[in-house]
Structure 1
């Protein structure tokens, strides 16, 4: 029996400006083979891809269609992209499609041929995808955005070397996970990975923590203590928040990087360590160098290879992937059965800017799972700070100056306009039943604008 690669888990996005053609396409493919969405133009396609990570995108090549092919590829780098062309499409356009590495199908559609084409491509990518997915997920690093693919490639390249690495990025982006991935893919993976949060120690304690101390080195030093560099011998040491170490310790660290040697606090014997050093920071170290807060020679010594972790707001296409991962994780931990994140909830997650990055997203999903009483995460399960971003700030401020009925009416009118008076979508965005929405439209005397108004 043939493997059924095309299934209801296969997400297909179809882009065509003519409504009848979109309807015809749905009738022939949706119920049988795919989880299918259709949109009329490129603007809507890019918007949908943010919350609907399609496995396959089929789009009509008209106007900016050729340029859109490349843009879509950045959203679904491991997806299948198929151009829809007419019999009168020029040879130049067809050649451009082929040169770009895209498949194409002719109209009118031969749905049997389309299924076969997609099946063959899925069969091919199911093997290729095993290698791709290795690049898309390193240990607990998750993401398919082009910026994350660059991180994965750098991790792969640097893991086999013994080079010092500097990982930069905002708090909550996953810098420690990058260090773990480098260690686990290196020849040192059987050795220890020692983590040191440099910001957690006072100036007097940081040297003792890193280099250890001899018995009697200071009051309270009742016995010899090995430091983190000794403990990390034949392994890896992660110096997190490297920008917080004092200048005196920076001098000791520079010596260790240059010679591999150090002395315990209160000791005279020179010790050696065979440990790989990875540093991480959320600070601008070069700015600190200019302000004489960080040694310039140490900066160059630790910045042999730099890996920057992008903030979540710069890779929002990964939010559905991350949100579903955290949903599954916390449902397992808390013991709940929540199987779905609706598009309306996912869109709200996408609109928020995530100043706390992936760590904040994880916390939001965990909180939502705790309070969720249904089989899917509803809008009201999200924290207020996230829900507030679903409307423009100016609109929210305008609502605040109105009476409650006026504010409710304005909110409903705004959502109806945004969804094109699609009652199902509007009710989902407002997190109310459709019947309730109809009642409120009648209660507030809201009328649908006539075309041309």
Structure 2
């Protein structure tokens, strides 16, 4: 972090001893880091710490102290840490909230993470853990400052290129965009419909050395099987009925730039063979042609399909999968990054109010809570459509629950799973919960992912991480 950049931290705990100890640790972090590196990566002067003895006092302090991070104890009288987290998420969605919980209290840690906390730390305090959390947040802010348009008002929220978010999962995506955009590597972007895969492809191209070259977007799902080769690789005059002139294909038009193949899982097998050749050699022939053309085109692909299942069903070539999967970026569904919902709601509210010349000032607390609670199967695209509808029909200056459709206001039905934990390890608790849900759903991965409220791709990766396999 540059020497002139200040990270403001608000420590909240009802115990004076805990507040002073945490403040002392934070004050000493910068001095230790500077001594280790010989640089002012994080200095004592760069970490400005204030304290509050309750959730209510913390909210009063935030009116005049624009904190970047709030570190709050979870167990406090009157307004506890989770209630404070909820208030901060509604009022100041750009603040990173870190929850402090007693060692062994897994339930509080899990609840806080699901409620949108950035991270959690355990008591008794560990210098290295607190230092790591602060450095991680500092790194994420640095990513944003390099490619993000914050505007003059720091409370507007975080944007990376045109992608809005501050959830840790999105910071991982931002970091990958920054790293991969410098290369020519082929990228596969996966994620559910409406998660913003095209925006990520945009960011990769416009942050790359190819930004001044062409950027060709192709919706593979919209191409008919008879014309897909012609669209991608072009055709010669007379190549087929209706081919009255020579035509360049998308790959040729993207020479020197980037081609984005959206919904690549819908490309027919014969075309996949031609696509594999382009990726391996950079060469192809137009339909009806004999000359071999060579192009310098960077390829970015996206899909909402499970390509592993498509390979098993012989609908997608395994060799093509490994060729396009040089760099894999997974975009999390909106239900897995609920802390971004207030940011997105405020962004779309402002956008559609500007377009319709309406003056809706805010979303009420009750309406925002409904929006946060909803599962958003259509992800960010669905949220944008909902807010556009709200703006069109809202008659007042505040969005109320009555302005939201009945579907949003319905309380989601959830299934309860009884879980007994023999350890205070959060990873072990997560693995135990996943195995329990998988058993309850007869190892139906789609149903298990739904019950766990995570994407199926996330479930796959977690199962691999924890070594969870279906019994033979």
* TM-score, normalised via structure 2 length: 0.65
Q: What's the CA shift for 1:338?
A: 1.1
Instruction: Report the Cα distance in structure 1 between the residues aligned to 2:15 and 2:410, rounded to whole angstroms.
Output: 33
1:294 — aligned with what? 316
Instruction: Report the Cα distance in structure 1 between the residues aligned to 2:81 and 2:60, rounded to whole angstroms.
Output: 23
Alignment of 1:237-248 (within 5 A): 237-248=259-270
1:236 — aligned with what? 258
Residue 234 of structure 1 aligns to a residue in which SS? coil
Instruction: Report the Cα distance in structure 2 between the residues aligned to 1:27 and 1:178, rounded to whole angstroms.
Output: 35
**Structure 1 counterpart of 2:384, from 362, 376, 381:** 362
Give per-residue Cα distances to partners, 1:220-268, cap 9 Å, x unaligned. Answer: 1111111001110101001111010111000111111111111111111
2:145 — aligned with what? 130
Q: What's the CA shift for 1:339?
A: 1.6
Give per-residue Cα distances to partners, 1:151-187, cap 9 Å, x unaligned. Answer: 0011111000000000000000000111000000111
Instruction: Report the Cα distance in structure 2 between the residues aligned to 1:59 and 1:157, rounded to whole angstroms.
Output: 27
Instruction: Report the Cα distance in structure 2 between the residues aligned to 1:368 and 1:65, rounded to whole angstroms.
Output: 44
Instruction: Report the Cα distance in structure 1 between the residues aligned to 2:357 and 2:339, rounded to whole angstroms.
Output: 28
Deviates more, 1:57-66 or 1:255-264: 57-66
Residue 328 of structure 2 aligns to a residue in which SS? strand
Q: What's the CA shift for 1:41?
A: 1.8
**Structure 2 counterpart of 1:279, from 301, 315, 319:** 301
Instruction: Report the Cα distance in structure 2 between the residues aligned to 1:201 and 1:265, rounded to whole angstroms.
Output: 15
1:45 — aligned with what? 84
Give per-residue Cα distances to partners, 1:361-411, cap 9 Å, x unaligned. Answer: 00000000001111111111112211123x7689xxxxxxxxxxxxxxxxx
2:181 aligned with 1:149? no
Q: What's the CA shift for 1:199?
A: 0.7
Residue 193 of structure 2 aligns to a residue in which SS? coil
Instruction: Report the Cα distance in structure 1 between the residues aligned to 2:266 and 2:191, rounded to whole angstroms.
Output: 15
Instruction: Report the Cα distance in structure 2 between the residues aligned to 1:191 and 1:60, rounded to whole angstroms.
Output: 46
2:350 aligned with 1:328? yes
1:371 — aligned with what? 393
Quick check: which has more Rg, 1 or 2?
A: 1
Structure 2: state its 5+ residue gaps. Answer: 17-51, 151-157, 416-472
Give per-residue Cα distances to partners, 1:182-219, cap 9 Å, x unaligned. Answer: 00011110011101111101110111100111111111
Q: What's the CA shift for 1:82?
A: 12
Contact 2:353 2:391 in 1 (8 A): yes
Alignment of 1:194-343 (within 5 A): 194-343=216-365
Deviates more, 1:380-389 or 1:92-101: 92-101
Residue 226 of structure 1 aligns to a residue in which SS? coil
1:25 — aligned with what? 57
Contact 1:15 1:41 in 2 (8 A): no
Number of matched residues? 358
Contact 1:74 1:145 in 2 (8 A): no
Contact 1:171 1:357 in 2 (8 A): yes
Contact 2:148 2:161 in 1 (8 A): no
* TM-score, normalised via structure 1 length: 0.68
Contact 1:49 1:75 in 2 (8 A): no
2:200 aligned with 1:168? no
With over 3 angstroms needed to count, the CA separation of the structure-2 counterparts of 1:280 and 1:73, relative to structure 1, is closer
Structure 1: state its 5+ residue gaps. Answer: 84-89, 104-121, 395-453
Instruction: Report the Cα distance in structure 2 between the residues aligned to 1:73 and 1:222, rounded to whole angstroms.
Output: 59
Contact 2:390 2:399 in 1 (8 A): yes
Instruction: Report the Cα distance in structure 1 between the residues aligned to 2:190 and 2:393, rounded to whole angstroms.
Output: 35
Contact 1:46 1:72 in 2 (8 A): no
